[in-house]
């Protein structure tokens, strides 16, 4: 289990941009980390790596943002404000998982049972104000 350490938002975006090169249709990326850990900056980098010119923003209040302008569509979910697993059905979560794009879920650990086995889990920790550690985990 390798860990990448970033020392700035720019390094986080560059790391995610490179990480995106290996993404294929129907990949699922499960992000875990505290508030301010860098989850949305990571998604910004994924979008750049998927050759999108769109700007990622946190979907906290809308639950999902769709970005369709790149090599693959990116569906950006945020489970933070969800209270029950049943709320995922209301937004059509399962349909997005097999829609030919990449599903990225912030706060994925709130409902891990909703994610398919193929999901790639990435833990983001912030040991200091500028440092971020990214570790891909087995689930």
Q: Number of folded domains in the chain?
A: 1
Residue range 17-48, pLDDT digits in tens: 999 999 999 999 999 998 888 888 999 999 99
The parent domain of residue 120 ranges over 3-137
CATH of the domain at 85: 3.40.50.300
Q: Which CB contacts under 8 angstroms, 24+ apart, belong to 114-121?
A: 114/85, 114/88, 115/28, 115/30, 116/28, 118/26, 118/27, 118/28, 119/28, 119/29, 119/30, 120/27, 120/28, 120/29, 120/30, 121/30, 121/32
pLDDT tens-digit profile of 77-96? 999 888 999 999 988 999 99
């Amino acid at each position: 289990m390798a860990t990448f350490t970033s020392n700035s938002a720019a390094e986080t975006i560059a790391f995610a941009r490179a990480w995106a090169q290996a993404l294929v249709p129907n990949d699922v990326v499960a992000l875990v980390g505290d508030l301010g850990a860098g989850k949305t900056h990571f998604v910004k980098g994924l979008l750049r790596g998927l050759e999108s010119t769109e700007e990622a923003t946190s979907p906290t209040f809308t639950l999902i943002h769709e970005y369709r302008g790149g090599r693959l569509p990116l569906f950006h979910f945020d489970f933070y404000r969800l209270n029950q697993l049943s709320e995922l059905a209301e937004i059509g979560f399962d349909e997005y998982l097999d829609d030919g794009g990449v599903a990225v879920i912030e706060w994925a650990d709130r409902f891990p049972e909703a994610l398919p086995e193929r999901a790639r889990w990435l833990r983001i920790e912030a040991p200091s104000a500028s440092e971020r550690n990214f570790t891909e985990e087995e689930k």
